[in-house]
Chain A
Amino acid sequence: MLAGILICFAVLAPTDAFAYLDPGTGTFALQGLFAGIAGGVLGVRAYWRRISGLLRRSKASEATGSEQPLSHGDA
């Protein structure tokens, strides 16, 4: 696993603006790993939101459909 991480991140260069400072391959690789995990978590969360959003919308439209006559009745 470490070798895999290494191949991905060992030779990453820092962004130009901060190029005067050597960020260190170790910390940079670790942040890359962290970025991958965080990216995955955020992706899952966004996907889950979409699914739950769709479910909520379909539930809401069902509810609205059944409530309509009542509201008319109230009026």
Chain B
Amino acid sequence: MAMRDPGSFRDPSGYVLTSRDRIFRAINDEAYENFLLLKSSGAYADLRSKEWIIAAEEADGDHAIHDGRRVLEHPRLPFVSYPYEWPFSLLKRAALLHLDVHLRALDFDFTLSDASAYNVQFCGVKPVFIDTPSFVPYREGDYWTGQRQFVEQFVNPLLLRSQFGISPNAWYRGSIDGLPTSDIARLLGRFKRWFAPTLLTNITLPDLLQRRARRDTDGRPAKPQPLPKTALRFLLQRLHGWISRQQPRPIGASEWHHYGTRNDSYADGEEERKRDFIAQFSQSLAPACAWDMGCNTGKYSEVLLQNKTKSIIGFDFDLDALEAAVSRAVIKHLRFLPLFSDAANPSPQQGWAETERLGLHSRSGADAVIALAIVHHLAIGRNIPLPAVIEWLAGLAPHGVIEFVPKSDPMIQRMLQRRRDIFTDYGKAQFEHVLSGCARIVRTLELSPGGRTLYQFVRTSG
């Protein structure tokens, strides 16, 4: 039986349904007519040939109609991510795709009814537009209805990083419909606010007019002046050019960015043995989707992908490392999606009725997980009890590899330099005891005598 997606309710033209591994979209008559027009106009074929939009076909058999509505079927994506989990480069890619799709749609006399960042998803690092009913026929003079939404969900978070070097992810997560323009306008200095044309037209003036409108409530309705198509195109193209030029401003000294290249945690040959262990694990399982917890710049994700893993979702909290991971995926054409996540505080279930946006754990469909050199950061760095860390990691996928770092390791010694060692339960024996309680240890590799050790496991509980 098809289940309605709890996050798909804002646009009355349609909603998403899931039935086992299949994804459907029930649409009303108007949206169905628009869909047929999208196809007959050539817009659908054109956008599909560019791989800018997700495929949509009329469902057949039992799924053709749902509750009196026509049903479309989409291919299932490996993972649904949210804009507050995207590093800067991915948010920028999604924004540019949105504008590209809109500009191309206008060539076929279609426009987009909204500009939600949640309508963009990623296959690897390639963005794809997923909301078919957003395409509506363009009528000469139409305004860009989604401009405010576009600014709040794409431009403002990008600005926060490019102008101020502030990570937008935590703010965005707390404000899931986007960052308010009034807040960003306050942050911009007077000079930038009034003398940077793109900021003036997208931030300063809309904010000013919005505030005045709130104060002056006695204005009379006036006939809207039609916005010529060339002017609409100009607006979209200018924004496209401006976003293309935005670069992430450094946040500060990145702790882990250079971990992949300047790593003193491993002696000669240790890294190679670690790599071989991971490669063998991947070869034996050939996972369709693996999660890399603490992926850093994606070095070991790449090893998995070179050894029969089909796609990887990586998570890290270091935004500079994530930028490097995105570059790696782009340059090497990897099916690797690096996302922002603090393992000690992963994305929660939130939004309307606390079901609109799903928590990280409930989105896991991974066949395998690797958690390399992350346990000590959670158990010692964040004071999370060791058993809780291991059980959480093993709960993410039925197969996995976890790296244990002993207290004698220089990294932990550095972490404990200015702290009292209260971690009496942190040790190899305790680690093995807890892991054996929820999984079967398949093989292990001690990278150096008494040093870091890799454990491959098969989950037995849950």
Contact = CB atoms under 8 A, between A and B. Distances in A.
Nearest to B134: A18
Nearest to A25: B213
B113 interface: yes
Given A15-B142, A20-B11, A21-B145, A29 B209 contact: yes
A32 B224 contact: yes
A37 to B, nearest CB: 8
Interface residues of B, number: 44
A26 B231 contact: no
A2 B145 contact: no
A53 interface: no
A7 B12 CA distance: 31
A34 B227 contact: yes
Contact of A8 (B146, B147, B222, B227): B222
Interface in B145-179: 145-149, 151
Contacts of A11: 213, 219-222
A10 B219 contact: yes
A35 B209 contact: no
Interface stretch (B199-207, B341-349, B372-380, B394-402): B199-207
A12 B146 CA distance: 15
A38 B228 contact: yes
Interface string B189-221: 000000000000110011111111100100111
Given A20-B10, A38-B230, A30 B206 contact: yes
A32 B241 CA distance: 22
Contacts of B234: 38
Interface string B111-142: 00110000000000000000000001001011
Interface string B279-310: 00000000000000000000000000000000
Contact of B213 (A23, A29, A35, A36): A29
Contacts of B181: 26
Q: Which residue, B141, B222, B234, has most C-beta atoms of chain A within 10 A?
A: B222
A14 B148 CA distance: 12
Q: Which residue, B114, B142, B205, B235, has most C-beta atoms of chain A within 10 A?
A: B205
Contacts of B205: 26, 30
Contact of B212 (A6, A18, A20, A24): A6
Interface size class of A (residues with CB under 8 A): 20 to 34
Contacts of B225: 8, 32, 35-36, 39
Given A30-B205, A34-B227, A21 B222 contact: no
A2 B143 contact: no
A12 B224 contact: yes
Given A2-B212, A3-B216, A38-B230, A30 B201 contact: yes
Given A12-B221, A24-B147, A39-B226, A30 B209 contact: yes
A65 B222 CA distance: 52
Interface string B98-109: 000000000000
B144 interface: yes
15 contacts: A6-B212, A7-B219, A8-B219, A10-B209, A12-B224, A15-B143, A21-B149, A24-B210, A28-B143, A29-B209, A35-B227, A35-B228, A36-B225, A39-B225, A42-B228
Given A21-B146, A35-B143, 14 more contacts: A2-B208, A5-B209, A6-B209, A8-B222, A9-B224, A10-B219, A11-B213, A15-B143, A21-B149, A26-B210, A31-B144, A34-B235, A35-B227, A42-B228
Interface of B: 10-12, 30, 113-114, 136, 139, 141-149, 151, 181, 201-202, 205-213, 216, 219-222, 224-228, 230-231, 234-235
Interface of A: 2-3, 5-15, 17-18, 20-32, 34-36, 38-39, 42
